[in-house]
Amino acid sequence: MKSTQEIYNLLKEKFQEKVIQHLNTLPKEEVIEVRPESINEIVEFLRDDKELHFDNLILLSGVDDANGSKNKLEDGTEEITGGTLSVYYHIESMDLRHKLVLKVSAPRENPEVESIYDVYGCANWHEREAFDMLGIIFKNHPDLTRILMPYDWEFGYPLRKDYRNPEFYQGMKVPY
Amino acid sequence: MGLLDREFTEDNIVISKVDDFLNWGRLSSLWQVGFGLACCAIEMMATSASHYDFDRFGVIPRPTPRQCDVIIISGTVTFKMATRVKRLYEQMPDPKYVISMGSCANCGGPYWEHGYHVLKGVDRVIPVDVYVPGCPPRPEALLEGLMKLQEKIRNESLVKKAIV
């Protein structure tokens, strides 16, 4: 069983600048932030190392940080430019009974994150959901298509903070 | 307004109006599409089960819309589902009836403001005969909705439009 600080030291030693920082602002959970293009090799190491042995991906979730510049539009809604979209990975070791939260952030205009499907198979649909809801692009994903919204949905990503409802979808009125 | 309270003029002959006879036939065996959408479907299944026994009204779930008279929209209608609901409705033979069950199918329910994926009322795609309020409605409420529909069918006419 290892603490997040110990794991961070191990990762920093092995991956150096690919591991960005250890976020430890109580009472939030401790988070290790890494670079989006190397998340797959880092989780592969975390899974295969005998001391760490993270054998299970609990959850993968996308977040709109909404930390870009906000400009009010005429109809009262907001438009966000710049800033980041993030993905959080909760992984655990059922064998050694420790868990860890990883985070990657990618720029809002081009949110490309490496897929971890090769390491944890169950990430497949989680990544499709993050793509569907927030438009995060997972590189090397086997089938990155919408999972919840209709395949022909062309009005953007509904969980982004600056999402706006369309007036009509296939002739059906959308607003109340 | 039953059929058998009419006068018996001869043995084994019942006199009735064509309208009354057809309406009686229609309202006494409303076969429903075996189809549920969300938590309301659980209440609909409970209504079909032995405690409430939908079958005593002649309501039997059928596995194909082509053999059905009534479709109960039991739950949240998402945009993705709305196109399918419309197709199911179009496959049903006339005369066909729609019961909208629960707040979601009536008007969007709790998704009315932030439900980017929810159709705000199934009456935006198909015509509804009876709205059953509730979230979800109890089986008694659905039974009352069905009896309202029967009342509507009872007042239908081949020649003049239905007055409810």
- Asked if B120 lies within 8 A of A176 by C-beta distance, the reply is yes
pLDDT at A16: 87
**pLDDT at residue A26, as a whole number:** 74
Rounded to an integer, what distance in angstroms lies between the CA atom of residue A10 and that of residue A54? 14
Q: Give the position of tokens 């989680």.
A: A126
User: What would the two tokens of residue A73 be?
Assistant: 């539009």
Measured CA to CA, the distance from residue B125 to residue A144 in angstroms comes to: 31
Tokens 């009876």 locate to B130
pLDDT at B8: 60
The confidence score (pLDDT) of residue A122 equals 92
Has the ipTM of the complex gone over 0.85?
no
For B118, nearest residue in chain A (alpha carbons): A174
Sign, CA torsion A15/A18/A24/A28: negative
Which tokens is A165 given? 């409802």
Q: How many helices (H) and strands (E) does chain B have?
A: 5, 5
Among A103, A14, A107, smallest CA distance to A52 is for A14
Q: Please state, for a pLDDT cut of 90, what percent of chain B lies above it.
A: 73
CB pairs under 8 A between A and B: 28
pLDDT over threshold 90, residue B17 = no
Q: Which of A77, A159, A169 to mutate to test the interface with B (most CBs of B within 10 A)?
A: A169
Distance from CA of B87 to the nearest CA of A (A): 14
* Structure confidence at residue B155 (pLDDT): 87
Please report the pLDDT score of residue A27 as a whole number: 81
Residue type at position A176: Y
pLDDT for res B49:
93
A158 with B116: Cβ contact below 8 A: yes
Least confident segment among A133-142, B8-17, B80-89: B8-17
Select the residue of A148, A149, A172 nearest B119 (Cβ to Cβ): A172
Tell me the chain A residues in contact with residue B112 when contact means C-beta distances shorter than 8 Å: 176
CB–CB of A173 and B112 under 8 A? Answer: no
Neighbouring CB atoms inside 10 A of A172's CB total 15
Beta bridge pairs of residue A106: A85
CA distance A173 to chain B (A): 8
Determine contact, residues B43/B136, Cβ cutoff 8 Å: yes
Calculate mean pLDDT across residues B29-55. 92
Q: What is the pLDDT along chain A (176 residues), one digit of tens a residue?
A: 888 899 999 999 999 889 888 988 878 889 999 999 999 999 999 999 998 999 999 999 999 998 888 888 887 778 888 889 999 999 999 989 999 999 999 999 999 999 999 999 999 999 999 999 999 999 999 999 999 999 999 999 999 998 888 999 998 999 88
Please state the three-class secondary structure of A50-72 as a single string.
Answer: CCCCCCEEEEEEEEECCCCEEEE
The yes-or-no verdict on residue B163 having pLDDT over 60 is: no
Label residue B4 by pLDDT band (50, 70, 90): low
Residue with tokens 């589902």: B81
Task: With CB atoms and an 8 Å threshold, state whether A163 touches B120.
Answer: no
- DSSP three-state, residue B18: helix
Dist CA A120 CA A99 (whole Å):
15
Cβ A167 vs Cβ A174: under 8 Å: yes
pTM of this prediction? Answer: 0.83
Give the bridge partners for A114, in sequence order: A139
User: Distance between CA atoms of A29 and A13, rounded to whole angstroms?
Assistant: 22
Quick one: pLDDT at residue B3? 58
User: What is the rounded average pLDDT of the residues B113-119?
Assistant: 91
